[in-house]
Amino acid sequence: MRPEVLFPLFKSIDTLKGIGPRLAVLIAKLAGEHVNDVLFHLPSGMVERKEITELDERYITQQVIVPVMVLKHFPSRNRRVPYRITCEVGSKELTLTFFNGREEYLKGQLPVGQSRTLAGKLEQYSGEYQMTHPDHILKTGEKIDIPKFEAVYPLSAGVTNKTMSKAVTQAFLSLPELSEWLDEALIKRENWQTWMACMRKVHKPEGADELEPDTPARLRLAYDELLSNQLALELVRQNMRGKKGRSFIGGGDAQSSIEAALPYKLTNAQNSALSEVCADMESNSRMLRLIQGDVGSGKTAVALMALAKCIGCGAQGAFMAPTEILARQHLQSIKPFTDAAGLKIALLTGRLKGKKRSALLEELQAGDIDILIGTHALFQDDVMFHDLGLAIIDEQHRFGVRQRLSLSAKGRPDKGGVDVLVMTATPIPRTLTLTAYGDMDVSVIAEKPPGRQPIETRAIEIERLDQVAASLDRKLAANERVYWVCPLVEESEVSDLAAAEDRYTYLNALYPNQVGLVHGKMKSDEKDAAMEAFKAGDTQILVATTVIEVGVDVPEATVMIIEHSERFGLAQLHQLRGRVGRGALAGSCLLMYAGPLGETQKARLKIMRETEDGFRIAEEDLRLRGAGELLGTRQSGLPEFKIADLQVHSRLLQIARDDARHFLEIDPELASERGRAIRTLLYLFERESAIRYLQSG
């Protein structure tokens, strides 16, 4: 249950005075639907006003507070012509301009012959002083409470700064006094004020420097959010560890059979990751481990060896991939080795229906299938294992924490549940690993298997497209394959990007019947057919959108052409480049761009030419783009932070992690005074699901 002290902060924003249903919908889209969302919507700029008593050119374009005498109204009968009011400031005239101004309202606000105090931007138009839509209009003699420093908020259509400021002011009336959840020594060391004092300070800046993310008030609020994130992940982690696991001792025969069948020796990095996985599997706690490895670093071989250990100890394994085409590919690549070890492997996807599906599920429940490979279909309630011991999840960023937990729930509690091993080929910077996967142990495979060729990367202008297309005939004659990636599916009026369909038509005219097409709007069986034709060599050029980014393995593919590469993020470019050079032949990647390039775009293409190190690329991507975009989608499983900025606040993240771990060691049930305050913090940042994982139940 959410603590009562937080009830006012979780009221709907339409309970705030002056925010009706229409405005509430607009503000909810911008900030969120609760009162606390308005408070977490921090200013991004500020207005600084000067008090003046005379009009002077030196104040042009500045925000001013000025006393005026109203002289005359000039109402407009034409919507295109603004309503004008002339005023006097000393001996000079000031014209006030209102677009779509309502006569009755303006005559009430600015009656002729009366003085007023105005605030707004002073401009000059055709040699005359002018102010358009003053921000504030006060009767002279009223207490002048026009702020000299006023916060400016990020806004969207229909929400003015005045509306946002009003909502924030009203939200402050609901702000409760909350018990301190931070460690006293940390507060002292960082010289931080209370949560409430910091909240007030960030919304009432007294200078542009107070908008910086490294000011004490913003640092404190960012730390609160990061601490809630780390506590939530640590509670999930402790819950996993607190549950009795299952100890897989042995299983060496099946492992030896598979290792003997592999066409190469495992690298040092693979052996190191495998020994960490095996140590987890042999312990009495449940495994929850992430294997990070660049494209082609050999994660699947490590996963296969772990599955062999599990099956050698009498249990079953599940291997989950994000798409059907990847699930099929895993089946094809793993089957020769499982056959060699005498293990039975099967595939379950959404496409399998009727009697065939029922028969497979019966075999699975009877324990006749050793390894089940599949997509999201593995989550379905009627998929029941005889004894699931290990779940491998590929491309983790496509799945959230809940899905991880629901797959691990398919094990037998009496046997000690399921070990979970997660793999990703998307290199993730350390800061993001902590915030997205802090509940897991992490292994990194940082070297590629021997024999992998380097990929030559060049950036060329899009004007040379015809030349590039004509040069592909040499590659096709050598039976090599070419990916041609476009960023859009069909031409839109607002974009000049080449569409995949247009590029397909163009290339097919040059190389008839040798070009395939795959994009996101195709049905999955159409996509699969196009990919299969490319793999088999029935087509040698595959025009695609980024759907080919993850996982699909075509050893004959040697050329990756990325059109409008300046529109892609670094991590995405790196993933795409990793599709080529996977066989014995060297690969090349052409980054075609349309100039002129911005600084960020130049930096991106430069780093792609300089390195193939996915982790260095990921750190650069975080620096250039920020965390939210890093994995390409908002559905990336990454937490979305309202206040914290991982580029600026990474120092705080490590402190928060250490603090969360240390505190939960001494107070695992959050029963102490600080523990109870921490519960409030978790509810404040809507991490209440973590409360369920408290050891007290």
The verdict on 281 and 229 lying in the same domain is no
Identify whether residues 195 and 223 lie together within a single domain.
yes
Q: State whether 472 and 569 are in the same domain.
A: yes
pLDDT at 673: 95
For residue 629, the model assigns a pLDDT of: 44
| Tokens of residue 412, six digits | 């037998």
State the Cα–Cα distance between residues 97 and 70, nearest whole angstrom: 13
Between 536 and 70, name the one with better pLDDT.
Answer: 70
558 or 623, higher pLDDT: 558
Token readout for 205 is: 């800046």
Sheet arrangement for strand 345-348: 345-348, 371-374, 316-320, 388-394, 419-424, 288-293, 441-445
In a domain, 383, yes or no: yes
Number of domains present in the structure of the chain: 4
Task: Establish if 541 belongs to a structural domain.
Answer: yes
pLDDT of residue 506: 93
**Exposure string over 290-313, b if 16+ CB within 10 A, otherwise e:** bbbbbbbbbbbbbbbbbbbbbbbb
pLDDT at 550 over 70: no
Q: How many CA atoms lie within 13 A of 216 on its CB side?
A: 14
- Residue range 658-672: mean pLDDT, rounded: 92
- The per-residue pLDDT for 528 is 79
> What is the per-residue pLDDT for 399?
58
Side-chain half-sphere exposure of 646, counting CA atoms within 13 A: 26
Which residue among 420, 445, 470 closes a domain? 445
Whether residues 296 and 405 fall in one domain: yes
Mean pLDDT, all residues of the chain: 85
Q: Which of 586, 611, 636 is the last residue of a domain?
A: 611
Domain membership flag for residue 316: yes
Cα–Cα distances (Å) from 663 to 189, 211, 226, 239, in that order, read 18, 32, 15, 15
Answer yes or no: is 607 within a domain: yes
Which of the listed residues 387, 415, 445 is the one where a domain comes to its end?
A: 445
Q: Is residue 525 a part of any domain in this protein? A: yes
Asked if pLDDT for residue 140 goes beyond 60, the answer is: yes
Residues 392 and 466 in one domain: no
247, part of any domain: no
- Average pLDDT (110-126) is 92
Q: How confident is the model at residue 288 (pLDDT cuts 50, 70, 90)?
A: confident
CATH number, domain of 366, equals 3.40.50.300
- Residue with the bigger pLDDT between 181 and 409: it is 181
Tell me the pLDDT band of 414, cut-offs 50, 70 and 90: confident
Q: Same structural domain for residues 74 and 97?
A: yes
Q: Does residue 556 contact residue 483 with C-beta atoms inside 8 Å?
A: no
Here the tokens at position 18 are 């002056």
The enclosing domain of 63 has a CATH number of 2.40.50.140
Cα 667 to Cα 665: distance, rounded to the nearest angstrom: 6
Predicted pLDDT of residue 541? 94
Q: Domain residues for 68?
A: 46-152
* Whether residue 676 sits in one domain with residue 596: no
pLDDT at 631: 39
Summarize pLDDT for 679-694 with one digit per residue, the tens: 999 999 988 777 776 6
Considering the domain boundaries, does residue 579 fall inside one? yes
Gap between the Cα atoms of 317 and 418, Å rounded: 9
Candidate ranges 175-189, 238-252, 284-298, 406-420; pick with highest mean pLDDT: 175-189
Q: Are residues 189 and 140 in the same domain?
A: no
Instruction: Look at residue 10 and tell me if it is in a domain.
Output: no
Residues 202 and 258 in one domain: no
Q: Rounded to a whole number, what is the largest CA-CA distance in the chain? A: 99
Q: 263 and 238 in one domain?
A: no
**Structural contact between residues 116 and 138, judged by C-beta atoms closer than 8 angstroms:** yes
Cα 634 from Cα 644, distance rounded (Å): 16
Sorting pLDDT into bands at 50, 70 and 90, what band is 546?
low
Q: Which of 366, 260, 348 is nearest to 304 (CA)?
A: 260
Contact 472, 482 (CB under 8 A): yes
Give the pLDDT confidence of 619-642 residue by residue, as tens digits.
777 777 654 444 333 334 455 788
- Region 569-576: mean pLDDT is 82
Residue 485: closest CA among 558, 551, 543: 543
Q: What is the mean pLDDT of residues 237-262?
A: 83
Whether residues 355 and 431 share a domain: the answer is: yes
DSSP strand pairing (587-593 vs 557-562): parallel
CA triplet 271, 272, 274: central angle to 5 degrees? 60
Residue 293: beta bridge partners? 445
Residues 340 and 479 in one domain: no
Task: Say which residue the tokens 């908020």 belong to.
Answer: 153
CA distances from 369 to 348, 364, 393 (A): 12, 5, 18
